[in-house]
Amino acid sequence: MDTIIGVLALDYPAEYSELQVLGKGVSSILQHHSVLGELEEFVFLIDQLRSKLARGDFLDSADLISLRPYCRQEPEGSLLDRLREELGQFDFEAAVVSVEKLGEPSRLRLQARVDERNGGKNMETKPLVLIVDDAPSNIQLLAGLLNSSYQIKVATGGLRCLELAEAEPRPDLILLDIQMPDMDGYEVCQRLKQSEITENIPVIFVTGKDQVEEEELGLSIGAVDYITKPFSPAIVEARIATHITLKQQNDALRNLAMRDQLTGLYNRHFLIDVATKRISHAHRHQQPLCLIMIDIDFFKAVNDQHGHSIGDDVLRDVAKIFVAQSRNEDVVARFGGEEFVFLLDGCDLQAGVNKAENVRLSLENSCVQGLAITASFGLAQLAHGEDFIGVLNRADEAVYAAKSKGRNRVEVAEITPS
C-alpha cells in the first residue's frame, strides 16, 4: 500500500488537497477505486490532467481520449472541444483554465453527494496537516509517514501554502520547506504569523538547511520547531503529535476565553480586543467601519412571564438568527445581558443601515420560542480619529433613541464634531 501511495504522491503532487475535498484519504480512494462511480473517475482523470499541465508535461489532444466518454453532455462537450483546440495550439495556460472549468460541475456534484452520504456533515475529525515542499519526493515521504494519523493537504509552493492556510478547514499544523522557487519558507512563515487568520497555526520547518543561524532565524520568526533533513521518522512523528496537542489545547482555551457560554457568540472581552485592532486598521487604510448595538425589547417581561430558562432559550435563538444574518468577516458578540453588537468591517453607513434593517426584520419575522421578539438597533459609523469607546457610546445612544421612538426600529447615530 505504501508503494502505491508513493506512486500517487509522485504522480499527483498537487492532488492531495483535492482528494481531501472528496472527503477521503488517498488510501481510501485506492481501496474504493474498483467501485468508483463515473463522477469520481472523471474528477480523478481531470485532476491527473491538471497536475500534468501544472508540471509542464507535454500533452496533446490525444491525451483527452480517456475523457470523451464523460463529456457527452453540455457544458462538458464544448469545454472538451475548446481544450482540444488549446492543446493543439500548445496554449497550456488557457488549457489549465479550461481543465478547471471542465472539472468544476462534476466536482461540485461529487461534493454534494459526499456531503449527502455523510448526512451533510464532514465526518473527518483527524487533525489536518499541510505539507509544503517543492520536491515531490519530500512530500511523498512525509505524507506516507503521516497519512494514517492525519488528514493531509499539500502545497508545492509558498503562495499556494498561504492560500490553503487561509481556506476552511484550516490546517492544525504546517510542515514548511525553506527553499522554494516562488517564495521562500521564511517569508511564508512571516506572512502566516502576520495574518489574524493564520497566526495561530503552528509552523515546523522541515529543511536541508542545517546551520545554527538558519535554525535561529526560523525560530525567531515564529516557527515552533525546526527539523533538519535527513530526519528520523519517529522523532518527526513525535514532534508533530506534541505540537498538534498543544495547538488543540490552545484552541480550546482561546475558545473558552473569547466565547459567551450561553450563546456561543464572541464575548465582550473578545469584542473589545478585536474591535480595537480593526478600528486602527480602518483608520490606517481609510476604510469604513460600522458598529450596530442591539437591545432586545421588553426582555424583562419575557423572564417575568415565562421564566428565566425560557429567557435563556430566547437569547440562544436570537443569537442564532444574528449569526445567520452575518458574513464570515463580521464579528457578532453578546455584549452583556440582552445586548448584542455587530462589528462590520469595510461597511459604509448605507450598507450598515441595510444590514441593521435586515437583521431587525429577520428577528421580527421569526417566531422565537413561540414568542414575538423584537429589538431596538443603534447604528454608528466610525468617525475620523474615533476610538472603540467613542463609536460604541454613539451606537448606545442611538439604541436609546430607538427605544424612546417606540422600539423595534433602527436609529442612526449623528457624528459628533470632535
Point out which residues bind ligand GH3 (CB under 6 A). Answer: 262, 295-301, 303, 308, 311-312, 315, 337-338, 403, 407
Closest approach of Cβ 342 to Mg ion, in Å?
A: 16
> How far is Cα 289 from Cα 341, in angstroms, rounded to an integer?
13
Does 16 sit near Mg ion (CB under 5 A)?
no
Query: Applying CB under 5 A, what is the total number of residues that bind Mg ion?
Result: 4
Contact indicator for 369, 314 with CB cutoff of 8 Å: yes
Instruction: Give the helix/strand (H/E) hosting 187.
Output: helix 185-194
Look at the block and give the residue holding cell 500534468: 52
Does 177 sit near Mg ion (CB under 5 A)?
no
Nearer to ligand GH3 (CB atom), residue 70 or residue 299: 299
Nearer to Mg ion (CB atom), residue 90 or residue 298: 298
Rg of the Cα atoms in the chain: 26
Binding part of the chain for Mg ion, among 138-146, 191-199, 287-295, 310-318 by CB under 5 A, reads: 287-295
**Binding Mg ion by CB under 5 A: which of 16, 186, 266, 299?**
299
Closest approach of Cβ 43 to ligand GH3, in Å?
A: 48
Does 345 sit near Mg ion (CB under 5 A)?
no
3-state helix vs strand vs coil in the chain, percent to 5:
55, 15, 30
Report strand pairing: 331-336 vs 339-345.
antiparallel
Binding partner selected for residue 215 from ligand GH3, Mg ion, none, CB under the kind-specific 5 to 8 Å limit: none
Closest approach of Cβ 310 to ligand GH3, in Å?
A: 8
Nearer to Mg ion (CB atom), residue 201 or residue 293: 293
Nearer to ligand GH3 (CB atom), residue 262 or residue 324: 262
> How far is Cα 174 from Cα 177, in angstroms, rounded to an integer?
10
> How far is Cα 386 from Cα 280, in angstroms, rounded to an integer?
9
For every residue of 190-242, which 3-state class applies, written as one string?
HHHHHCCCCCCCCEEEEECCCCHHHHHHHHHCCCCEEEECCCCHHHHHHHHHH
Does 295 sit near Mg ion (CB under 5 A)?
yes
> How far is Cα 264 from Cα 312, in angstroms, rounded to an integer?
12
Does 335 sit near Mg ion (CB under 5 A)?
no
Binding partner selected for residue 149 from Mg ion, ligand GH3, none, CB under the kind-specific 5 to 8 Å limit: none
Q: Which residue is nearest to ligand GH3 (CB)?
A: 311
- The CA-CA-CA angle for residues 213, 161, 108, to 5°, reads 170
Environment class of residue 304 by beta-carbon count within 10 Å: exposed (0-12), middle (13-18) or buried (19+)? exposed
> How far is Cα 358 from Cα 246, in angstroms, rounded to an integer?
41
Closest approach of Cβ 297 to Mg ion, in Å?
A: 6
Nearer to ligand GH3 (CB atom), residue 150 or residue 377: 377
Binding partner selected for residue 300 from Mg ion, ligand GH3, none, CB under the kind-specific 5 to 8 Å limit: ligand GH3
Closest approach of Cβ 365 to ligand GH3, in Å?
A: 19
Task: Extract the C-alpha cell encoding 239.
Answer: 514532534
Contact indicator for 373, 366 with CB cutoff of 8 Å: yes
Nearer to ligand GH3 (CB atom), residue 385 or residue 406: 406
Q: Which residue is nearest to Mg ion (CB)?
A: 295
Nearer to ligand GH3 (CB atom), residue 229 or residue 308: 308
Closest approach of Cβ 297 to ligand GH3, in Å?
A: 4
Nearer to Mg ion (CB atom), residue 154 or residue 373: 373
Return residues touching Mg ion (CB under 5 A). 295-296, 299, 338
